[in-house]
């Protein structure tokens, strides 16, 4: 059965100014309507014709917002694995979790934006290789954030008697959120490592199908699928009737968390108002 609905928000850290983004997060932290706040992990604006527009780096922005909020759980939906070695990412995650007093959510995916990779000289391997890297990265994160000392020998990543201290506040580690809808690899990796899977689409029928695939992967690895939370986005333009209808469909299809996905200019009051209406309609 679907769990009680949780609501979060996500602000695109692009094509806007920092003061407005920070103010929005602080207002929503104080309001109590949302459980978590999310940013994305890109170096260029996405889904826009301009590549030279402003776009804040996700992890440094998140660390700053952790210090400007006190209640919200917070993370990137999702961090691109190819951008950072997973051992470095583990250190970043442990630091932010300690600094935020246990509020970090670790979103991670295989990465997809070739333009950013090419521009910055970051290797962009074929999809199969990126998926192999993601699977190894999840294991590296899990080891370093749980164990006192970790050794790992993979094709892409290696650890030799590695430490990651101090450990996160959350035990055994902060939740890992895997984003993506690939049935053969992404959902299998989610079955192995995810505490939370994010469905990136908009279709409730497709979500039900993907959840069936995830359940089959869970059976293969001996995992109870009910231990994996499920989320999806509610996209702009926000409309009370359509957004509430979509929220109800996605919740009934199996979503535990719905994320109101906002572009600049950020409107905290509008997000709060819509969250109240969704909560009232969905229960």
pLDDT tens, position by position, 105-159: 999 999 999 999 999 999 999 999 999 999 999 999 999 999 999 999 999 999 9
Element (H, E) at 257: strand 257-262
Q: What is the mean pLDDT of residues 13-17?
A: 95
Partners of 178 in beta bridges = 108, 197
* pLDDT tens by residue, 153-195: 999 999 999 999 999 999 999 999 999 999 999 999 999 999 9
Rounded Cα distance, 159 and 97, in Å: 22
Residue 4 has pLDDT above 90, yes or no: no
Residue 48: the pLDDT is 74
Give per-residue burial for 152-163: e unless 16+ CB within 10 Å, then b: beeebeebeebe
Given CA atoms 159, 150, 141, 206 in this order, what sign does their dihedral have? Answer: positive
Strand duo 196-199 + 229-235: pairing: parallel
Residue 21 and residue 40 in contact, taking contact as beta carbons nearer than 8 Å? no
What per-residue confidence (pLDDT) applies to 283? 72
pLDDT at 76 over 90: yes
Cross-strand partners of 257: 6, 231
> How large a percentage of the chain has pLDDT more than 70?
99
pLDDT, tens digit (0-9, with 9 covering 90-100), for 187-222: 999 999 999 999 999 999 999 999 999 999 999 999
Instruction: Tell me what the mean pLDDT of segment 83-94 comes to.
Output: 98
Pairwise CA distance, residues 253 & 222, whole Å:
23
Residue 24 scores a pLDDT above 60: yes
pLDDT score for 50: 77
What region does 203 belong to: left with phi over 0, alpha with psi -120 to 50, or beta?
A: beta
């Amino acid at each position: 059965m679907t769990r009680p609905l949780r609501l979060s928000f996500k602000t695109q850290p692009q094509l806007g100014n920092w003061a407005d983004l920070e103010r929005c997060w602080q207002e929503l932290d104080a309001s109590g309507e949302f459980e978590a706040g999310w940013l994305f992990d890109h170096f260029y604006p996405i889904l826009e014709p301009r590549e030279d527009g402003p776009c804040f780096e996700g992890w440094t922005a998140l660390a700053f917002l952790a210090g400007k909020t006190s209640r919200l759980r917070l993370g990137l939906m999702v961090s691109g694995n190819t951008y950072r070695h997973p051992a470095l990412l583990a250190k970043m995650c442990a630091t932010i979790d300690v600094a935020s007093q246990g509020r970090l959510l670790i979103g991670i995916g295989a990465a997809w934006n070739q333009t950013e990779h090419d521009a910055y000289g970051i290797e962009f391997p074929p999809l199969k290789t990126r998926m192999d890297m993601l699977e190894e990265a999840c294991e590296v994160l899990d080891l370093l954030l749980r164990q006192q000392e970790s050794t790992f020998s993979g094709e892409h990543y290696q650890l030799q008697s590695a430490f990651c201290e101090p450990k996160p506040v959350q035990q055994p580690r902060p939740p890992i959120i895997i984003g993506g809808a690939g049935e053969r690899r992404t959902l299998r990796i989610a079955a192995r490592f995810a505490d939370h899977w994010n469905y990136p689409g908009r279709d409730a029928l497709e979500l039900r199908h993907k959840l069936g695939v995830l359940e089959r992967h869970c059976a293969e690895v001996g995992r109870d699928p009910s231990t994996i939370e499920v989320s999806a986005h509610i996209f702009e333009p926000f409309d009370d009737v359509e957004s509430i209808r979509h929220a109800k469909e996605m919740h009934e299809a199996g979503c535990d968390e719905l994320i109101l996905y906002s572009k600049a200019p950020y409107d905290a009051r509008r997000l709060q108002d819509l969250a109240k209406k969704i909560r009232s309609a969905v229960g």
